[in-house]
Structure 1
Amino acid sequence: MADQHRGVIGGGGYGDRGGQEQQEKQPFMMTALKTVTAATAGGSMLVLSGLILAGTVIALTVATPVLVIFSPVLVPAAIALALMAAGFVTSGGLGVAALSVFSWMYKYLTGKHPPGADQLDHAKARLASKARDIKEAAQHRIDQAQAS
């Protein structure tokens, strides 16, 4: 009896499926709403891209005669501008590289131990060792030649 009263009062008895139906309808409604929103957004973007394409075609159609008339001037000017831009970019890049090398050298010479200083010291020691070995070998051969 108590179970029956709870079912009537709470509205959630054994045979009641009202809550499940609402839960099943809600995802369907959300899915439909998402679909409509996506279709609207996609359609508007498609329309905008079509308008931009049409505008580009019209602009090219209008500008083509002007470009053909001025092409003997525009093509060399474009080439010159491209070369100037490449020169400035190259100059800037090499300038930055030079500044970084000078900065590294300053740190190395002032004893601040920049990255790679160990490798440089090791290479310097190996080079000095090889130079010493070559000098000793040459001196040994000179001594042998003088003794003979």
Structure 2
Amino acid sequence: MAQNQQYYGRGQPQQHQLSHQVAKTTAAVTIGGFLMVLSGLTLAATVIGFLASGGFGASASFVFYWMYRYATGKHPIGADELDRAREKLAHTAHDMKEKVEQFGQHHIKGSQDN
């Protein structure tokens, strides 16, 4: 009996060894393929992140440059539209202030009459 256990321990039948080898190879290929896909996705995300951060940095530099030119009195592109919007906002705020003052005076006058 001891000889039978040694025989099966050392040399298994060919069919069993082959199926064991196929299972190991299949598992290795599957895991390796999954890791390759995962590393490719990681690389793609990293490249996209670097491109996005570079784009954001370039945009921020351009905005700061534009603000510097606007603040120093040079006439950058879009300054006219910004000035018109600021004037329109100031005009609207002035009109609202006058309406509130008129409403307040009318309301105070109406309450004093009663």
Name the TM-score, length of structure 2 as normaliser. Answer: 0.67
Name which of 54, 63, 69 aligns with 1:107: 69
Residue equivalent to 2:56: 94
Tell me the residue number matched to 2:105: 143
- Identity across the alignment (%): 41
Match of 1:133 among 89, 95, 104: 95
How far off is 1:67 after superposition?
A: 7.1
1:88 alignment partner AA: F
Indicate which of 27, 32, 35 corresponds to 1:70. 32
Runs of at least 4 residues of structure 1 off by over 4 A?
A: 66-69
The equivalent of 2:44 in structure 1 is 82
What secondary structure sits across from 1:120 in the alignment?
A: helix
Corresponding pairs, count:
83
Q: How far off is 1:133 after superposition?
A: 0.4
Aligned mates of 1:140, 1:131 — CA distance in 2: 14
Counterparts of 1:113 and 1:89 in 2: how far apart (Å)? 31
| Structure 2: distance between partners of 1:100 and 1:138 | 41
The whole-number CA distance in structure 1 between the counterparts of 2:40 and 2:89 is: 51
Q: TM-score, normalised by structure 1?
A: 0.52
Give structure 1 stretches of 5+ with no counterpart: 1-65
CA-based RMSD of the aligned residues comes to 1.7
Structure 2: 5+ residue stretches without partners = 1-27
Higher relative contact order (CA 8 A, sep 6+): 2
In 2: Cα distance, 1:109 partner to 1:129 partner = 22
Counterpart in 2 of 1:118? 80
Partners of 2:58 and 2:78 lie apart in 1 by: 19
- The within-5 A match list for 1:18-29 is none
- Tell me by how many angstroms 1:138 deviates: 1.1
Q: Does the C-alpha gap of structure 1 residues 73 and 79 become closer, same or farther in structure 2, counting only changes over 3 Å?
A: same
- Closer/same/farther in 2, CA of residues 86 and 67 from structure 1, 3 Å limit: farther
Alignment-mate amino acid for residue 140 of structure 1: Q
Shift of 1:123: 1.0
